[in-house]
Structure formats: C-alpha cells, structure tokens
Amino acid sequence: MVDFAGRPALRRSTRTAGNIAVTLGGGPATVYGGLGDTVNFGSVSQYADGTAGNQKIAVGSGGTDIIIGSTLAAAGTGVDTLTGGAGVAEIQGLGKGDVVDFAAQTGNATINAIAGNIRVTLGGGPATVYGGAGDTINFGSAGQYADGTAGGQTIAVGSGGTDLVIGSMVSSAGGHHHRRSAALDYNPGAGAGDDLVNLAGSSGAATVNAVGADTGPVNDTVIASNGGDSVWAERATDRRRRERQPAPTSSPTRRRSRAPRSSSRHQRCGGRGDLWQLGRRRHREQRRPRRLRGPGVGRRVRGKQGDADRFSSSIRANPQAPARQSSRPRRKSSSTARQAPSSPCPTAPK
C-alpha cells in the first residue's frame, strides 16, 4: 500500500509489481500500475499508466488527470475500470473491454474509446467520447458529445442537457441511438451508414438530420416519439435521381465557344439576313434621285430668251440624248407609288 495523501507537494514516480493500492495527494505524480493495482488520484494534475491491465483508477478532486488504459494487456488479463471524480479527466487510450464508469464525474472529460467493445457511462460534467465498434455509450445529465462514425455502437441519450451525436459512416455497420428525456441533435456521418434512431417512449425535443451530404445515400431508420421531434429525410425519388448522375471528373472542363448572336431582324427573317440587307439597299436606290448626264441634257444657254424655250430647243437639238430627270424627285401618284414590302425579308433576286 502506497499512501501519499499527507506528503508534501513533490513530484513522485511510482512503479508497482501488482496488487498495490496507491493514493496520491497534492503533488504532481506519475504511476505505472501493475495487475490488480488500485490508483486514486489526488487534488492536482497527475498521470497513471494502466497498460498492464486489470487495474482500478479513480479520477481525483482537482487538476487534470491523464490515464492510459489496458492497451498492452496480455491475453487473458482483466480489463481496467475507471471511475470519475471532480477533476478534469483525459483518457488518451483504452483497451478492448475496458469500463469507464463516470457516473460521479463532475469535471470535464475526454475519452478515446476507439479500441471497441468499451462501456462508457457519463455523469454530470461535459464530456466528449470518440467511440469504436461494439461500444456502449450512456450519456449523463449534461450536454455531451459522442462520435459514432466508426459504426456498430449503441448510444443512449442522457437525462438532461442537449446531446450531440454523429452517426456512422460505414455501410452495414450502423449503430443504435436511443433517447430518454434529454434533447437530441443527431447528424449522419459522411458515408452511407445504416443507423437506427429510436426515439420511442422518450420526451424532450429532438432534431434528426437524415439527409446527409452529397457523398452517398443515407439509409438511417428513424422511429419518432410523441414529443416535439423534427426529422429531415430524403425522398426516394431524389435519391435515385442523384445516384443516376455521373460522377464529376477530375479533368478540367473546356469552355465551348459561343456562336455570335444574331440580331432580332435576322431572327425574324429566318436567318436570311443577306437578303434583307439587299432589299434595303435596293429600296434606297429607288428613292434616291438620279442625275442623268449627256450631251445637251440639263444645260442652259445664256441669253435674253426664257430658260424654258432655250432648254426645250436644246432638247430638240439632241434627239438621241436621254430624258432629263429633275434634281427634285417628282411626286408620284397614289396609283403608281411603290408599295412597301409587307415583310422585312424580300425574296432573292432572280
């Protein structure tokens, strides 16, 4: 038996041969336990190595206690049993089958239980548990967190606070999540888990996200209670549509060249933009007054006689000259006026 409860605050290192009870006090300490040992932490930060297995380790009343479970236990050796206290507990590793009984734990606790087949019972202090396959996690009376992404776990929500649970991300290795009177905030893992969220017979509000990310389908089963539960689920049609979509490729996508946009007039003409421009040009030429030139055409003779007589005589003197067209366009009658085309798209010239 090693009793350091009344010793001064000096750092001590103790290695035991087994079946020894160690009680620590107010000084820093390091204990390497053996088979059958019982280690009780004190009121300051201390360390215990229980890798040999078959040990009982109790968290102290203050400080931060670091504990290593039966990670190196020989075959057939008993498991470690950890009990809670008022200090902060940091469980850095556990062996398969270890028991963490933190029902009396009031300080903060962080537990690494990924080894699997570990039973964890939490108390009234904040806690974070990283579970493994085959674990059983029971929440306590405060808001706590459990990571069940490894799958194959049974997680029971506690009696108070808001418990946050992350579901499994391994297909066909889902876990079971039960709820009591505490509030639940459940989110699925990143993969295609097959979790069962059983809220039957429980009270309090629950928020269940059964949609998940876009990495794959979520095959969770949710049994709601008579309380105020909110469940987000995905329709089967949406899931099938998402599964039919091709997976994105890693190669960069090329930008396709965009054809030049046509004008509204070009679109109304059915793509015959050239014919429309030709019709416009012909229309302008017909309206533009032509000035005819030739020998004796449009020339006036200086003299005292009237311009009209001289002009007419010059025309008679040159019968082969073409008719003169006045510089001012003549006003056409309505019967001979050119009608505007009914369509902005004239036909091609023959």
Per-residue pLDDT of the chain (350 residues; tens, 9 = 90+): 777 776 555 555 666 678 999 999 999 999 999 999 999 999 999 999 999 999 999 999 999 999 999 999 999 899 999 999 999 999 999 999 999 999 999 999 999 999 999 999 999 999 999 999 999 999 999 999 999 988 889 999 899 999 999 988 766 555 676 666 788 888 887 765 678 888 887 777 888 887 765 555 667 788 877 767 888 876 655 555 555 666 555 555 555 555 555 555 545 554 555 555 666 666 666 665 555 555 555 555 444 444 544 444 444 545 555 555 555 556 555 554 455 555 555 555 54
- Which of helix, strand or coil describes residue 343? coil
List the domain boundaries for the chain.
32-236
User: What residues does 229 pair with on adjacent strands?
Assistant: 206
Q: Report if pTM > 0.85.
A: no
Distance (Å, whole) CA 194 – CA 173: 7
| Token pair belonging to 79 | 């498991």
Task: Specify whether the CB–CB gap between 128 and 110 falls below 8 A.
Answer: yes
Q: Sheet containing 136-138: give its strands across.
A: 2-3, 21-23, 38-40, 56-58, 81-83, 99-101, 119-121, 136-138, 154-156, 176-178, 196-198, 221-223
Handedness of CA 149, 131, 164, 176 (dihedral sign): positive
